[in-house]
Structure 1
Amino acid sequence: MTKFDAESAAVLEAVRGLIPVLRENGVAAEDNRWIGDENIALLEKAGVFRTGVPKRFGGLESSLAEQFAVAAVISQGCASTGWVAAAWMEGAWVASLYPDEVQKEIYAGGSVRISGGLTPTAMFTPADGGFLLNGSWGFNTGCRGADWNFVAGLRELPDGEVEPLYALVPMSEFTIADDWHVSAAAGTGSFTTSAENVFVPARFVAGAEALVTGTTGDRANAGVAGRNYGLITYVAAMSIAVYLGVAKGAYDTFTERLPGKPIAYTNWTDAREHPLVQLKVASAAGAIAAAEALAGGFVARLQDRADAGEHPTVEDSVTVRGQGGFALKLLKQAVEDLHEVSGASALSRHQAFQRFYRDMEGLSRHGMMTPNTNLELQGRMLLGLDPDTLYL
């Protein structure tokens, strides 16, 4: 069992106590298409937004296992809140890949919320001392409550080729479109953000290759062992924490309703007594336990690599993607099994179970996380083929 740092353990204990209120706030989060100020304030007070911040700036510098556990527990209360919290925690870690001059500004408060638009749907045009940024980013999770935005774009080189770049830009520089109208994960507030001729100083811009491989310079933590997880691999691993929490939340809210619940149009007065319900509950519990064990394995693998002062290998990254995809497949099936025997009463919007079900269905469509894509990726490697992707 992973031993947690005392401060990170305290954060985990604090968020466990928030599960009931996060569930209670779920309907309002959907109605408002945003998790709301109360959820953010509760997570802030619990110390969640300090987990990815280096200790030298007043943060907790929590390990991957610690951050994973926190994101999973938050997601047991509310999938949307967990998805937003995980995104902001990931963003806080990403800032540690930038030069110290940037880190000092980003981490000035010891707690920070950074959203991200990782698809290069913008252009960087060189300007005196930096770049002008123009473009838009859809699915920009948590943008309404973020301090900064981590965005991707392209710079055209003199030879006509393009170079992918990432920038950290104050969220106040973006406009946010009111376009998040969805049937799942509605509370994530993943609106489209846009930048029009926004000047970004050169120090806040880094090459995608350097960020992904952890080779950006001028930072005191560049050679520090323990927190170098690889950008894409880290994001993929942390995302599985949310799915795990959602499945656990669905399981809890399903089983809590069972005692004394009759099965309509039958003689069964307690659903717990029905063999099919028993089968589905056991299958879901087994799938969740298997997925959690699988995730624990690849989280430990990444931490061992980081503790050795090494960047994840291609095999490490592909394994995380593939095993993460299989874990998600198990978790999704677990929730679907429970949904099959949930009964019509579970469709009420005031029942947290139906929201966990819909959010699992929706979030599992994420382009980088969908099981089939990631299993194909790992299958290529296992068969001796090139992974055939830059997103590692």
Structure 2
Amino acid sequence: MTSTILDVQTELVEKARSFVPRLRDRAKETEEIRRIPDATINELKESGLFYILRSKQFGGYQTNMRTYTDIVTEISRGCGSTGWIVALCCIRELMISESFSEKTHQEIYGSGGDIVFSGVFEPRKIQVKKVEGGYIIEEGYWPFCSGSLHATWGYFGMPIVDEDGNVVDQGLITLPMSQVEITDDWHVMGLCGTGSNSINMKNVFVPDHRVVSFTDAIAGKFQSDHFRDIPLYNTALFPALAMSIGVPGLGMAKAALELFMEKLPNRRAANLGVEYLGDAVTTHHQAAEASLKIETAAMHFYQVADRLDACAVSGEYMSKFERVKALANIGYAVQSCKEAIDILILATGSAYVGNGNPMQRIGRDFAALYTHRTVSPITSKENFGRELCGLSSNTKNI
């Protein structure tokens, strides 16, 4: 049984790796049309790579966070935007699977068609009313909904209110994307192909069974009683979410190094005392430094993935201290990727500024990822340091 599971996981990673050449061929198109091409979406569905964290009960592969990390890294080597979408759409499968009840799962997966999730937690504007049997979102606005153009179901953050309108908790909701309005406003400099448009809702009813406490979910108090014997669905929610935002950066950094080394043999040097750039001591230092920083990032990412899996298998939910540390590992890995890419951009020279240069696209895609506060190297280190010093993390939702 174990051998069969490993074979399936290895096959999925190999499938992801086989996508790299075609994703690089489509990267320019993906950026220009501001969404993932339909051909790529269809291939990801046909290959099963969208379903790596879906339960076997509902047609998925039910793998683990290490396999997820492998696959997201490979896809991101091919195209940053596509890697971002695979990362977030798949992690939403995990969030939906572990957070919601069997009734909700039967409703979602019994609705027919290819189920793909998009969503975003924090609304910038929202008015909610408690009514019999659920909630009415009178008005809601959520920006940055990655994958919105390809999704059939969504998950969103929402304040849970009582009958008097008082906020009593923070919640997660899920609903068909047919009930929301997508605003075409994703005009950006990086991760252009993710279609991370804004979502608007007006007078949308959400039944009680499709609303769960986010406070409970991040503490491992899940409503998925029917999945309690499946280790994957005991995975700590917030560190897994942070991995989905950070891991694409590892693939981008690897792609940058590969691109630099591929171009290097034919690059002539100027004012370095050698004819070719590959013979320059400066280049040797830059290549080595970038490579080692990428290896450092990988070690931190895989440490988190393996610890998430180990805790899930043990049946004990990851402790608050470990969750805070995991965020610090992820932030440190993201910073290492940034430093590696910065080195490679500098080593690329003035060719980098040319529109259409793949290195420039990688740089812009990573710059967009780096701004996401969930993986902030500064905040995550501060929070871990506070925990080490016997204080509480300043970030409560971990």
TM-score (norm: length of structure 1): 0.94
Structure 2: gaps spanning 5 or more residues: none
The question of whether the paired residues in 1 share the 8 Å contact of 2:297 and 2:333 is answered with: yes
Letter in 2 for 1:281: A
Deviations 1:364-385 (A, max 9, x none): 1101112111111111112221
- 1:258 is paired with a residue whose SS is helix
Amino acid at match of 1:320: A
Query: Is 89-98 or 105-114 further displaced after alignment?
Result: 105-114
Greater fraction helix: 2
- Which has the higher mean CA deviation after the structures are superposed, 138-147 or 350-359? 350-359
Aligned length in residues? 391
| Contact 1:120/1:154 (8 A) holds in 2 | no
Moved more, 10-19 or 156-165: 156-165
CA distance in 1: counterparts of 2:186 and 2:70, whole angstroms: 28
* Partner AA of 1:88 in structure 2: C
**1:139-218, aligned counterparts within 5 Å?**
139-157=144-162, 158=164, 160-217=166-223
Q: 2:351 aligns with which of 331, 345, 356?
A: 345
The Cα shift of 1:30 comes to 1.4
Secondary structure of the equivalent of 2:145? Answer: coil
> CA 1:169–1:161 in 2, change beyond 3 Å: closer, same or farther?
closer
Distance 1:309 1:298 in 2: 17
Matching of residue 361 in structure 1 with residue 363 in structure 2: no
- Equivalent residue for 2:134? 130
Q: Once the 2 structures are TM-superposed, how far is the Cα of residue 268 of structure 1 from its aligned partner?
A: 4.2
Q: Report the counterpart of residue 75 of structure 2 in structure 1.
A: 74
1:11-41 deviation per Cα after TM superposition (whole angstroms, max 9, x unaligned)? 2111111111111111111111112212211
Q: Which residue does the alignment assign to 1:381?
A: 387
RMSD of the alignment, in Å?
A: 2.0
**Cα distance, 1:212 vs. partner?**
1.8
Matched residues in 2 for 1:178 and 1:46: separation?
29
Identity of counterpart residues, as a percentage?
A: 28
Q: For 2:266 and 2:273, locate their aligned partners in 1 and report how far apart those are by CA, in whole Å.
A: 13
Q: What code does the residue aligned with 2:65 have?
A: L
Cα distance in 2, alignment partners of residues 110 and 170 from structure 1: 12
Secondary structure of 2:348's aligned partner? coil
Shifted more, 210-219 versus 311-320: the winner is 210-219
| Amino acid corresponding to residue 117 of structure 2 in structure 1 | I
2:255 corresponds to which residue? 249
AA paired with 1:114?
F
**Residue 114 (1) aligns with residue 117 (2):** yes
With structure 2 as the length reference, what TM-score do the two structures score? Answer: 0.93
Matched, 1:289 2:290: no
Say whether the 8 Å CA contact 2:189–2:364 is kept in structure 1.
yes
What does 1:257-272 correspond to in 2, within 5 Å?
257-264=263-270, 268-272=274-278
Q: Distance in 1 between matches of 2:13 and 2:339?
A: 27
1:99, 1:219 within 8 Å by CA — same for their partners in 2? Answer: yes
- Is the CA contact (8 Å cut-off) linking 1:247 and 1:288 kept in structure 2? yes
CA drift of 1:173 comes to 1.1
Quick check: 141-150 or 344-353, which moved more? 344-353
What is the SS of the residue equivalent to 1:341?
helix
Say which SS state the counterpart of residue 61 (structure 1) adopts. Answer: coil
Match of 2:310?
304
Is contact 1:319-1:378 (8 Å) kept? yes
- In 2, Cα distance between equivalents of 1:339 and 1:104: 48
Match of 1:329 in 2: 335
The letter for the 2-side match of 1:338 is: L
Where in structure 1 are there 5+ consecutive unaligned residues?
none
SS in 2 for 1:5: helix
Q: 1:138 to 1:293 in 2, by over 3 A?
A: same
Aligned mates of 1:76, 1:218 — CA distance in 2: 34
